[in-house]
Amino acid sequence: MGFSVPLGEDISVRFVPPRGRAELRLACAAVKPGRQPAACRGAFRVLVKTGPEQGEHCVFSRASRGGVWEEAVVDLSPFAGRQIELVLQSDSPETEALAYWATPTVISGRGRRPNVLLISIDSLRADHLGCCGYPRDTSPTLDSLATAGCLFGKAIAQSSWTLPSHTSIFTSLYLSSHGVNSPHDALTPDATTLAETLREAGYLTGAIITGGPLLPVYGLNQGFDYYDATCFTDMFDDVRDPCTHARAVGWLDRYGESPFFLFVHYWDVHHSYIPPPPYDEMFDPGYEGPVDGRHILKLIPSNLPPRDLEHLVALYDGEIAHTDRYVGLLLRELKSRGLSDKTLVIVTSDHGDELLEHGGTGHGHTVYQELIHVPLIWIDPYSHPCKDPVDYIVQTIDIAPSVLDRLDLPVPPSMEGTSFLGYVRGLHQQARPAFSEAATSDHRYAVVTERAKLIASAYRQFRGYDLAADPGEQNPVAPEKLTQGSQLDEALTTYFRSPGRDVVTLEVRVVGGETPGDVRVSLTSLWIVDVLPNGLEPGDTLEVEQDSTRVTLALDCPAGDVDGVSLNLFSEETAIFLEPTFRHRPVSPQELTLGRGARPRERIPLKVRADDPDLEGPPTSLSPAPTGRPSVYVWVIKRGLAPTAGIELEEDFQKQLRALGYLN
């Protein structure tokens, strides 16, 4: 079915797109009628009007040079269940031409959910890809994917090393929520992963993983029907792409018919940088110096002449080109099986790699852009490509909710990311800052917006960067000098204050004794984000100093009374100075209980760190001290999901992790 109208004349129809998946498919062409009708130039637009409040949205726009049908697939699911007016508009410089609109059809239903292929290329920096402006031809496949889909030009990974960053991708949780940050931590089975959610929705789920930090021992296999670690032999085997490819293709052969979610993890860009020929000489042929891409963590910046650094970068780029080729081969296999137009493809990375921009190599220890700015490409066969790269900040924790949003599946409430489909669909979306955390560093927390960045230590020391003027982060500025300085500080504080993600809460309770008297507890810590009184009555006071670094409780504590305060602290590394006094003299060690029952080992006032194991609580009971005077209890509760800590690793594997800088 189709119809034609004079070009310039609108056609409009009112209807309610069905809930769930709703797609408008049509074709259009401009034709000059006559004895011999001829195609001519025309411009076509499809508008969705949603009423005076939400206005109108252009969902399709195409200029035709004449000669062919222009085909449109328009995603109407953002408007599902709402009364809309669909307007077909045309225009042409030709006189008396007609606009032909062919077979406009709304397709709906759950049967149209695509497969999902999520590709993670380990250690891939965004700024070394052609589509992100890199001058070398490192990434022809990814560049063409960026054109065929949507490139997110400012995607931020939630950590700068493999294990926590992939944990964030799979769970849509920030590092301080999932807590997996050491090679001895595994994801708790209580977490909800993307694979689990998709499996519940009827997807067959598979993963081909190639890196040690993704081995099943780390718990990221949750929700996968198949979790294939065959290509991981040891951490020093630097060429795994051919194996990864063969396993992925084999998996598609066996399970490609089912609705599937396949995760493919490419390892080879990860150091060492030893690309196989011809990629080893691709970007710096004829080099005869000492750099061979091995042992990069042992390179000493001051001993590395610029010429050798150039070669190191060329080897890293060779690794990218090599892996890019394998991604291309996998996509070709997808196409040859007729799966390309049924599969949503997402390409990203867990972190980048340092190439001495800030004096180091490898990854994990800082949150500079070379480590946390990663590629993110979204290719939806049912949607039009984005006109331009998305210039707003998104996070890799947004991938899982976006996939679920795209598939009309509910996003588990635990997930902290936000769907970025609004950007894909060209609709307005609220911009949000991104957060990232390094494994260890003096300055390990980062908040990033489109223009600026704040890097913070656990001791409230900041480095600000104007990313627009100083994208390489070479000139730190005081946060107050940044246009968005105070918003960034506030965003970082809010990040730690979010429910379920308080890094650590310090609880203080005073239990009244038989001997009455004034009890004062003074706590000093550099970054107290929240203070909540607990059981205070008239006569008790809680004083918080203006800069929130010192809190003082003054209590009138009758026998049996329990009063106190809960403090949310910025980080478990935060030091706390604790000074409880009774009648203006320090309480005795028998009157102070730490954690489940420990006594202070040092003199009061005490200096403790929130991650001191002695502080881990809560206490088994709260009772007066044997002295008959009031007693003070102090303990720490960690919030968020507790990882399964202290997992056993084979000695040989630990050795490899150590050599690669993951373990000390």
* Closest distance of CB 216 from Zn ion, Å: 17
Query: How far, CA to CA in Å, does 418 sit from each of 160, 345, 388, 395, 641?
Result: 20, 18, 21, 9, 19
* Closest distance of CB 21 from Zn ion, Å: 34
* Closest distance of CB 269 from Zn ion, Å: 9
* Closest distance of CB 177 from Zn ion, Å: 20
**Which residues does residue 477 pair with via DSSP β-bridges, in sequence order?**
464
Give the residue with the Cβ less far from Zn ion, 64 or 159.
159
Q: Near Zn ion by CB under 5 A, which window of 21-29, 118-126, 417-425, 607-615? A: 118-126
Quote the tokens at residue 52: 């005076």
- Binding string, residues 396-425; x marks residues near Zn ion by CB under 5 A: ------------------------------
Residue type, 68: V
Query: How far, CA to CA in Å, does 552 sit from each of 117, 513, 522, 542?
Result: 54, 20, 4, 6
Instruction: Tell me how far apart the alpha carbons of residues 322 and 122 are, in angstroms, rounded to a whole number.
Output: 13
- Binding string, residues 291-330; x marks residues near Zn ion by CB under 5 A: ----------------------------------------
Q: Using an 8 Å Cβ cutoff, are 185 and 643 in contact?
A: yes
Question: Which residues fall within 8 angstroms of residue 597, CB to CB, at 6 or more apart?
Answer: 619, 620
Chain-centroid distance, C-alpha 651:
31
* Closest distance of CB 124 from Zn ion, Å: 9
Give the residue with the Cβ less far from Zn ion, 297 or 478.
297
* Closest distance of CB 214 from Zn ion, Å: 9
Q: Near Zn ion by CB under 5 A, which window of 34-42, 78-86, 120-128, 429-437? A: 120-128
**Three-class DSSP category at 439:** coil
Q: Near Zn ion by CB under 5 A, which window of 73-81, 156-164, 181-189, 502-510? A: 156-164
Q: Near Zn ion by CB under 5 A, which window of 158-166, 198-206, 222-230, 436-444? A: 158-166
* Closest distance of CB 649 from Zn ion, Å: 17
Q: Near Zn ion by CB under 5 A, which window of 2-10, 42-50, 345-353, 645-653? A: 345-353
* Closest distance of CB 364 from Zn ion, Å: 8
Strands 376-379 and 150-156: antiparallel
Number of residue whose CB is nearest Zn ion:
162
* Closest distance of CB 122 from Zn ion, Å: 4
* Closest distance of CB 374 from Zn ion, Å: 10
* Closest distance of CB 249 from Zn ion, Å: 23
**Three-class DSSP category at 509:** strand
Instruction: Tell me how far apart the alpha carbons of residues 45 and 99 are, in angstroms, rounded to a whole number.
Output: 11
**Three-class DSSP category at 173:** coil
* Closest distance of CB 661 from Zn ion, Å: 11
* Closest distance of CB 160 from Zn ion, Å: 9
Instruction: Tell me how far apart the alpha carbons of residues 535 and 529 are, in angstroms, rounded to a whole number.
Output: 20
State the helix-helix crossing angle for 306-336 and 140-148, rounded to 10 degrees: 50
Instruction: Tell me how far apart the alpha carbons of residues 242 and 210 are, in angstroms, rounded to a whole number.
Output: 11
Q: Using an 8 Å Cβ cutoff, are 587 and 594 in contact?
A: no
Q: Near Zn ion by CB under 5 A, which window of 9-17, 117-125, 221-229, 627-635? A: 117-125
Question: Which residues fall within 8 angstroms of residue 465, CB to CB, at 6 or more apart?
Answer: 452, 453, 454, 455, 473, 475, 476, 477, 482
Give the residue with the Cβ less far from Zn ion, 350 or 540.
350
Give the residue with the Cβ less far from Zn ion, 346 or 404.
346
Give the residue with the Cβ less far from Zn ion, 162 or 419.
162
Residue 322's H or E segment, with its range, is helix 306-336
Instruction: Tell me how far apart the alpha carbons of residues 245 and 265 are, in angstroms, rounded to a whole number.
Output: 10
Q: Which of 162, 188, 343, 418 binds Zn ion (CB under 5 A)?
A: 162
Strands 204-208 and 260-266: parallel
Quote the tokens at residue 506: 């310090």
Q: What angle is formed at CA 132 by the lines to CA 319 and CA 453, rounded to 5 degrees?
A: 105
Question: Which residues fall within 8 angstroms of residue 169, CB to CB, at 6 or more apart?
Answer: 118, 120, 158, 194, 348, 350, 396, 397, 399, 400
Give the residue with the Cβ less far from Zn ion, 212 or 401.
212
Q: Using an 8 Å Cβ cutoff, are 203 and 406 in contact?
A: no
Q: Which residue has the tokens 């005081």?
A: 478
Name the DSSP letter for residue 159: B
Instruction: Tell me how far apart the alpha carbons of residues 524 and 503 are, in angstroms, rounded to a whole number.
Output: 17
* Closest distance of CB 152 from Zn ion, Å: 19
Q: Near Zn ion by CB under 5 A, which window of 34-42, 236-244, 346-354, 621-629? A: 346-354
Instruction: Tell me how far apart the alpha carbons of residues 347 and 618 are, in angstroms, rounded to a whole number.
Output: 44
* Closest distance of CB 395 from Zn ion, Å: 16
Name the DSSP letter for residue 107: E
- Binding string, residues 420-459; x marks residues near Zn ion by CB under 5 A: ----------------------------------------
Give the residue with the Cβ less far from Zn ion, 446 or 555.
446
Q: Which residue, among 282, 183, 455, has the nearest Cα to 293 in the 3D structure?
A: 282
Q: Near Zn ion by CB under 5 A, which window of 23-31, 344-352, 605-613, 625-633? A: 344-352
Give the residue with the Cβ less far from Zn ion, 219 or 412.
219
**By the rule CB under 5 A, 23 interacts with Zn ion:** no
Give the residue with the Cβ less far from Zn ion, 141 or 160.
160
Give the residue with the Cβ less far from Zn ion, 232 or 382.
232
Q: Near Zn ion by CB under 5 A, which window of 252-260, 342-350, 436-444, 481-489? A: 342-350
Q: Near Zn ion by CB under 5 A, which window of 99-107, 155-163, 339-347, 532-540? A: 155-163
35 burial via Cβ count (<10 Å: 0-12, 13-18, 19+): exposed
Give the residue with the Cβ less far from Zn ion, 363 or 406.
363
* Closest distance of CB 32 from Zn ion, Å: 58
Integer Rg of the chain from CA? 29
Give the residue with the Cβ less far from Zn ion, 162 or 192.
162
Q: What is the 3-state secondary structure (H, E, C) of 607-629?
A: EEECCCHHHECCCCCCCCCCCCC
Give the residue with the Cβ less far from Zn ion, 267 or 633.
267
**By the rule CB under 5 A, 350 interacts with Zn ion:** yes
**By the rule CB under 5 A, 122 interacts with Zn ion:** yes
| Number of residues counted as binding Zn ion (CB under 5 A) | 3
Instruction: Tell me how far apart the alpha carbons of residues 208 and 406 are, in angstroms, rounded to a whole number.
Output: 23
Instruction: Tell me how far apart the alpha carbons of residues 248 and 225 are, in angstroms, rounded to a whole number.
Output: 14
Give the residue with the Cβ less far from Zn ion, 122 or 324.
122
* Closest distance of CB 288 from Zn ion, Å: 31
Q: Near Zn ion by CB under 5 A, which window of 5-13, 114-122, 136-144, 495-503? A: 114-122
**By the rule CB under 5 A, 563 interacts with Zn ion:** no
Q: Near Zn ion by CB under 5 A, which window of 122-130, 371-379, 458-466, 653-661? A: 122-130
Q: Which residue has the tokens 């780029």?
A: 317
**Three-class DSSP category at 422:** helix
Binding residues (CB under 5 A) for Zn ion: these are 122, 162, 350
